[in-house]
A and B are shown apart, each in its own frame.
Chain A
């Protein structure tokens, strides 16, 4: 992937150094090339072992989704049952609810979370007071470092039906206190907006970087032509942000089905389960947390999700390639 023309060009010129590998006028055999850098294989062996153990072995193990996995019989010994577990999932009354929850939750956070970091970055870009700029950045980045557990703890405290600050305010206006976490309809909004609160500052860094790489000459020319700041923002900054914004969108879409699983799991309670159950939490419950664990059924659901994710990622990337120059690979 890096074998660009310039690189080989340089390598040819530095012919005097026998150590470089691309010094290959006579095309040595692969074995020779491998022998020359054998130490690099030693270096990478540990990460490779890790990859095989903790990434590829599970992929191999995912075949239990097509089997009736029985612990004592092991992966090989268990019998094949074909698509039984998948069909059971598709036909279960939970299926549509979980899929709908997963998709709406991720689309909601995608749509709501997308504009704010851009807005913040654009605003910050026009602040000339360095101290104000620094303090806004410092404070908006901070929530990013709060753990999910603490984050959810804060949400629960603020929204507590009896003594949370939000309900205190409601009471002040003579309204009835609301048990926010117990109302299924509110779950998604609480999830999404608390997520934006936590990540807006940090996500804007990448847009700030993009803005700083825009040629200042463009701005100068625009000022000479009498463009207002708003016009400069619209015609210079926004187009400059587009490529990176699209890449971010692709990245996020590719992981559409892994909605912030850890946070959802923490925010769930029996009252809001109707709207808060997503694929990942369901997999966890069926496979690990329930009384009668069902490894095979749970793996089937997980595999289904991984496949859809992969397809989405490839598809979105294709679309982006067609319509725009920027794509992931």
Chain B
């Protein structure tokens, strides 16, 4: 593309103008709702209700945020989500490597059969109810394990990891270490793992975001509120509109209560997304890398 730096023709200049316009339009459409939500969350409740907020905050206040943090379930939801995300991701990464490494080895007898067993589950599944019954039969219902074990391995990530192993770990390395008397366990631990930093980071990120954002397994498997992850708490407040009256305790009048309820929702949207948005600029390039690795067949 640098080669066009000579001199642009008329049609090319028009093209460039249109191109930038289209992109700016994309940008605005995507950005506006985000900015609006943030602005509304720190605006005065009455202004939000009256529709005075357009782009920037009106009469800034932190009422919504104080209401959010006074909510008992939100704290436990946060704690649970962090726990599920950390533990779940650890299990995911370990399982993915355990499956991907043998499948990446050429001398793994029965490799194709195993690979088929894995890939087939991507195309066909027993379904929601049979899976639920298995979780129930294993006695995992309403336990922390129900949030971790049923999704312990994502086949797609496993395939990506396997491709990475196949393409970046040379066979010569394995041969040399075997000559030196290194067995497969040791090889995975002291050679494969240290060489796989990028892929481990990428799949860990994918898994972690998945855990943080998931609500459906919690909806299916958990009964007690004390185990609820943040997303399920959010669902009750944002979608089902069940705002606990006790948290609005010091606001007497109905009108104000109504306003605070709206404000709380905006603040909640921001609070729930902030952890991801804080790390987002740092991890964005890894996600891009992950997609790239996934898209290129090894």
Q: Residue B265 contacts which of A132, A157, A309 (CB distance < 8 angstroms)?
A: A157
**Is B243 part of the binding interface, using a Cβ–Cβ cutoff of 8 Å?**
no
Which residues between 46 and 73 of chain A lie within 8 Å of chain B, taking CB atoms?
46-48, 50-51, 53-62, 64
Which residues between 86 and 110 of chain B lie within 8 Å of chain A, taking CB atoms?
95, 98-99, 101-103, 105-110
Q: Residue B272 contacts which of A128, A147, A163, A313 (CB distance < 8 angstroms)?
A: A147
In the complex, what residues of A have CB within 8 A of residue B288's CB?
141, 205
Q: Across the interface, do B126 and A62 meet the contact criterion of CB distance under 8 Å?
A: yes
In the complex, what residues of B have CB within 8 A of residue A56's CB?
121, 126
In Å, the complex CA distance between A307 and B124 comes to: 7
Q: Across the interface, do B184 and A40 meet the contact criterion of CB distance under 8 Å?
A: yes
Q: Across the interface, do B30 and A244 meet the contact criterion of CB distance under 8 Å?
A: no
**Is A154 part of the binding interface, using a Cβ–Cβ cutoff of 8 Å?**
yes
In Å, the complex CA distance between A154 and B266 comes to: 8
A238-275 vs B, Cβ < 8 Å mask (1 yes, 0 no): 00000010000000001000000110011000000000
B206-218 vs A, Cβ < 8 Å mask (1 yes, 0 no): 0001001111100
Known: A50-B153, A53-B138, A302-B127. A140 touches B27 (CB 8 A): yes
Stretch of B57-65, B68-76, B194-202, B231-239 at the chain-chain interface: B231-239
Q: Across the interface, do A44 and B128 meet the contact criterion of CB distance under 8 Å?
A: no
In the complex, what residues of B have CB within 8 A of residue A132's CB?
20, 23
Nearest opposing residue in chain B for A206, CB measure: B295
**Is A33 part of the binding interface, using a Cβ–Cβ cutoff of 8 Å?**
yes
Which residues between 144 and 170 of chain A lie within 8 Å of chain B, taking CB atoms?
145-150, 152-154, 156-158, 162-163, 165, 168
Known: A47-B98, A156-B238, A158-B33. A33 touches B107 (CB 8 A): yes
In the complex, what residues of A have CB within 8 A of residue B106's CB?
2-3, 7, 11, 20-22
**Is A201 part of the binding interface, using a Cβ–Cβ cutoff of 8 Å?**
yes
Please classify the interface of chain A as helix (H, G, I), strand (E, B), loop, or mixed, using the class held by over half of its residues.
helix
Please classify the interface of chain B as helix (H, G, I), strand (E, B), loop, or mixed, using the class held by over half of its residues.
helix
- B residues contacting the other copy or chain, number (CB 8 A): 109
Q: Residue A157 contacts which of B37, B110, B276 (CB distance < 8 angstroms)?
A: B37
Q: Across the interface, do A58 and B184 meet the contact criterion of CB distance under 8 Å?
A: no
Q: Residue A124 contacts which of B23, B49, B107, B130 (CB distance < 8 angstroms)?
A: B23
Known: A51-B121, A149-B235. A123 touches B23 (CB 8 A): yes
In the complex, what residues of A have CB within 8 A of residue B27's CB?
135-136, 139-140
In Å, the complex CA distance between A205 and B109 comes to: 36
Nearest opposing residue in chain A for B22, CB measure: A123
In the complex, what residues of B have CB within 8 A of residue A141's CB?
284, 287-288
Q: Across the interface, do B239 and A266 meet the contact criterion of CB distance under 8 Å?
A: yes
Q: Across the interface, do B123 and A37 meet the contact criterion of CB distance under 8 Å?
A: no
Nearest opposing residue in chain A for B11, CB measure: A228
In the complex, what residues of A have CB within 8 A of residue B29's CB?
197
Nearest opposing residue in chain A for B231, CB measure: A149
Q: Across the interface, do A40 and B105 meet the contact criterion of CB distance under 8 Å?
A: yes
**Is A90 part of the binding interface, using a Cβ–Cβ cutoff of 8 Å?**
no
**Is A306 part of the binding interface, using a Cβ–Cβ cutoff of 8 Å?**
yes
**Is A173 part of the binding interface, using a Cβ–Cβ cutoff of 8 Å?**
no
In Å, the complex CA distance between A299 and B126 comes to: 8
Known: A126-B16, A140-B27, A205-B291. A37 touches B235 (CB 8 A): no
Q: Residue A153 contacts which of B54, B101, B213, B265 (CB distance < 8 angstroms)?
A: B265
A-B contact pairs, 5 of them (CB 8 A): A50-B95, A60-B130, A135-B27, A147-B234, A162-B49
